[in-house]
Amino acid sequence: MMGVDVTKAIIRGGLVGSVFIGLASAINESYAGRVMPTTGLNSIALIFIPLAVYLLAQAFEQIFNLTVAVIISSVIVESLFNILTILGVPSGTWQQVAVGACVIVCGVLAQRHYKGVVK
């Protein structure tokens, strides 16, 4: 209604996103040096930290601007990983459990004043 063609905007957004995903894949491949197939959802670890940052940013979006919320949540997630490493928690499952618990707690705290259906 305001002059924005929704179909073109979605297609352009998908194209821009796919270019960035392609660049990230090329950088990841050059950094890792090889690609190994995994089974049993072991590759989920690649997207777990960015997903945690995104979910925390959505939880903080009610308090801060989304850009600021992404920066704050990424600092929180990386600090949590560093603190757990310093405390001697082995990297892997227990650190991912701690980050998942942090995301759930922050999501609950962000929605506690909201009355109605939470989307």
Residue 105's pLDDT band (boundaries 50, 70, 90)?
confident
- Over residues 9-39, the pLDDT tens digits come to 889 988 998 898 888 878 877 776 666 666 6
- Over residues 41-53, the pLDDT tens digits come to 666 666 777 878 8
Which pair of structure tokens corresponds to residue 28? Answer: 């990841």
Q: How many angstroms separate the Cα of 48 from the Cα of each of 4, 53, 99, 103?
A: 34, 9, 9, 11
**Confidence at residue 12, expressed as pLDDT on a 0 to 100 scale:** 92
